[in-house]
Amino acid sequence: MGAPYRIGVLPGDGIGPEVVPVAVEVASVAARAAGLAVEWVELPAGLAAYEQFGETLPPQTVETLRGCQGWVLGPVEHHRYDPRRPGMRNPSGFLRKHFDLYANVRPARTFPGVPTRYLHVDLVVVRENTEGFYPDRNVLEGDAELRVTQDVVVSLRVVTRQACVRIAEYAFALAAQRAAQRGRPGQVTAVHKANVLRRGDGLFLECCREVAARFPEVAFDDVHVDAASYFLVRDPARYDVMVTTNLFGDILSDQAAGLVGSLGLAPSLNAGDRYAMAQAVHGSAPDIAGRGVANPTAELLSVAMLFEWLGRRHGDAAATDAAGLVEDAVRATLARGVHTPDLGGTHTTAQFSRALQEALRAATMG
């Protein structure tokens, strides 16, 4: 084993302290089995940190993350963060922007044994993460939503060539990688509304076309976001990699999660060139927090995506193997019918965690 990767652990709010420790525990078993050395560094963040330190993201946490290769962020209870209050930064938006985690990668896949409306969905939404309509990442100071009179609000959107090109490059590289793994041609679909947002989405589409010309082995098409949302519900198997701007990607990826069973199964990675942050797509699920029934799969598969990213970035087969072991354990456990209530089952988070660890042990003891 080489020097351990330092991976930060920020449990977040709501069900975060229930699902993040399970993800870390199960991922640790997989890492050990694959010969991957990981040092997990638990750090305060979120509403609990605010209670304790008066800051949702203490400076020490951000500083420590700088020395990590990646981290896991639990869900954030967005509506309880008031950016006007000192010390109330939203960790999710802040960390994406601060560490330039420009690609939010959100796969949606069907799992054997999980009842869904569709079979064989296997797509990824690649969402631009640093600009667009999100007011917390658009301006250097202040907020890009302006209430100019009592009854008028102006929301600013930022679209830059640099961000469009690099998100398109990420999507094409991912499609090429998936094509090699699956033994079939890759496809990228750019999702936009360039017929109405002619300049902003026009620039996005122009950049996607330019990048497509550099990846002749990957098929390329584009679709208006409204049509994409229609086709996604009618026939999700038509999509492979969907690349899009921030807001559209946020919406389409939740929709895609709904197609494959539960938000509890939908992982994501926020990736930059230097750091990556694992973060489930779902929110803090306040309706079930504290009851021990949350599904930790999304968080765990997000950690697997982080392992896979580390494997690619550092050319480290052990990290790639650890990711594969996690994936296989999740598949085997779900296929056995070990399901939390969001999937119609009766298993608790703790029971599900034990089943995952048994699956890992069974797989690695040969």
Residues forming contacts to ligand ATP in the complex (CB under 6 A) are: 14-15, 19, 75, 77-79, 263-264, 282-288, 294-295, 298, 342
Give the C-alpha separation, 308 to 314, whole Å: 10
Catalytic member of 5, 81, 193, 275: 193
Tokens standing for 103?
């690609």
Catalytic member of 134, 170, 239, 275: 134
What's the min distance (Å) between Cβ of 333 and ligand ATP? 15
**Among this protein's residues, is 254 annotated catalytic?**
yes
Catalytic member of 100, 122, 254, 328: 254
- What does the DSSP 8-state code read for residue 158? B
Give the C-alpha separation, 313 to 306, whole Å: 10
**AA identity, residue 193:** K
Count of CB atoms situated within 10 Å of the CB of 226: 13
Nearer to ligand ATP, 200 or 264 (CB): 264
Nearer to ligand ATP, 285 or 310 (CB): 285
What's the min distance (Å) between Cβ of 264 and ligand ATP? 3
**Among this protein's residues, is 118 annotated catalytic?**
no
**Among this protein's residues, is 97 annotated catalytic?**
no
What's the min distance (Å) between Cβ of 343 and ligand ATP? 8
Q: Nearest CA to 157 among 193, 108, 188?
A: 193
Nearer to ligand ATP, 279 or 295 (CB): 295
What's the min distance (Å) between Cβ of 353 and ligand ATP? 13
Backbone angles phi, psi at 148, to 5 degrees: -80, -30
Give the C-alpha separation, 197 to 165, whole Å: 18
**Among this protein's residues, is 222 annotated catalytic?**
no
Backbone angles phi, psi at 109, to 5 degrees: -135, 145
Catalytic member of 221, 226, 235, 273: 226
Whether 14 contacts 75, CB under 8 Å: yes
What's the min distance (Å) between Cβ of 255 and ligand ATP? 13
What's the min distance (Å) between Cβ of 342 and ligand ATP? 4
Nearer to ligand ATP, 294 or 359 (CB): 294
Whether 158 contacts 138, CB under 8 Å: yes
Nearer to ligand ATP, 69 or 110 (CB): 110
Catalytic member of 222, 250, 321, 342: 250
Q: Name the residue number minimizing CB distance to ligand ATP.
A: 283
DSSP assignments along 44-91, one per residue: --SHHHHHHHS-SS-HHHHHHHHTSSEEEE----GGG--TTSTT---H
* Separation of CA 333 from chain center: 22
Whether 279 contacts 105, CB under 8 Å: no
First to last CA, the chain: 21
Nearer to ligand ATP, 253 or 295 (CB): 295
What's the min distance (Å) between Cβ of 225 and ligand ATP? 21
Q: Nearest CA to 29 among 305, 304, 295?
A: 304
Nearer to ligand ATP, 114 or 294 (CB): 294
**Among this protein's residues, is 321 annotated catalytic?**
no
Residue 265: CA count within 13 A, CB half-sphere: 28
Residue reference for tokens 């660890």 = 357
Q: Which residues are catalytic?
A: 134, 193, 226, 250, 254
